[in-house]
Amino acid sequence: MNMDTMTSIFNVCLLTGFAVPILNLLTGVFGSIFDGNFDLDTGHDFDGFVPFNLMCTCFALIVFGSLGRLCVPYMTNTLFKAIIIALLALVSFVAYLLLYKYVIVKLKRNSPLAITSYEIVGLVGKLTLRVTQDSDGVVSVLDSTGAAISYRARACDFYKFDDSGRIDQGTEVVVTGFDKDANIYYVHPLYE
């Protein structure tokens, strides 16, 4: 094979590696085909069997094509061509495995669940709007992902207000109960 043929092969790899994810993004065609858990992995840590993932394959094609384009001037004879193509295939395979193991597997395992009303009871939150004897406030609680979620808050029945008649904004509180019908969380200051 001459240099022009090698350049064409690397261009096709490079363009395919970019075209498939872009078409997938624009049309969703490949996503609908491969959403049926087309990945041939077992769902466990990498145990020697090479899993198939379309986007990792596209990444490997991009690596192979772009590094190949850079190495074309060094492919002066058949021996160098074979060595360079073998090295490019090895580097692309390693790039595939690294992307799969350190990105795809971690993303598949990440499944943050929404916190339920009953899981909030017992959590510590912070008042973002004060609670008085006559009006409700707002308590902010962190969910499992670390995002702050705000809920209506009212002082619990057993809490005795001080002379000010309020629990101030910024006070750390414990959520002690939940009224499902009124969608209100009952709170008590953490340090009282």
When divided into structural domains, the chain yields a total of: 2
Whether 7 and 73 share a structural domain: yes
Does the pLDDT of residue 47 top 50, yes or no?
no
Shared domain check, 159 and 178: yes
pLDDT tens-place string over residues 152-171:
998 888 878 887 888 888 88
Say whether both 99 and 149 belong to one domain: no
Fill in the DSSP letter of residue 113: P
Asked whether residue 12 falls in the same domain as residue 102, the answer is: yes
Res. 183: pLDDT tops 50:
yes
pLDDT digits (tens, 9 = 90+) for 88-102: 999 999 999 999 989
Most confident of 31-40, 114-123, 176-185: 176-185
3-class SS of residue 155: strand
The C-alpha atoms of residue 171 and residue 128 are separated, in whole angstroms, by: 8
Residues 101 and 23 in one domain: yes
CA distances from 148 to 42, 60, 118, 122, 142 (A): 35, 39, 17, 16, 4
CA atoms within 13 A on the CB side of 179: 13
Of 3-17, 37-51, 64-78, 133-147, least confident by mean pLDDT is 37-51
pLDDT at residue 73, as a whole number = 92
Copy the structure tokens of residue 42.
Answer: 């077992």
Domain boundary among 109, 129, 159: 109
Same domain, 56 and 123: no
Q: Is the pLDDT of residue 44 over 60?
A: no
Instruction: Pull the structure tokens for residue 96.
Output: 């595939």
Domain of residue 80, residue span:
3-109
pLDDT at position 38 is 46
Q: Residue 178, SS3?
A: strand
Residues 103 and 152 in one domain: no
Same domain, 11 and 103: yes
Of the given ranges (27-41, 129-143, 151-165, 171-185), which has the lowest mean pLDDT? 27-41
Regarding whether 97 and 10 lie in a shared domain, the answer is: yes
Mean residue pLDDT across the chain = 84
Say what the pLDDT of residue 30 is. 58
Q: What is the pTM of this model?
A: 0.55
Q: Is residue 118 predicted with pLDDT exceeding 70?
A: yes
Q: What would the two tokens of residue 93 be?
A: 């395979």
> Which one of 84, 109, 134 terminates a domain?
109
Q: Point out which residues pair with 187 in neighbouring strands.
A: 155, 175
- Alpha-carbon gap, residue 165 to 161, rounded angstroms: 5
Coil, strand or helix at 70: helix
**26 and 92, same domain (yes or no):** yes
CA 43 to CA 154: how far, in whole Å? 45
Task: Kindly state whether residues 131 and 105 are assigned to the same domain.
Answer: no
Partners of 98 in beta bridges: none
pLDDT higher than threshold 60 for residue 33? no
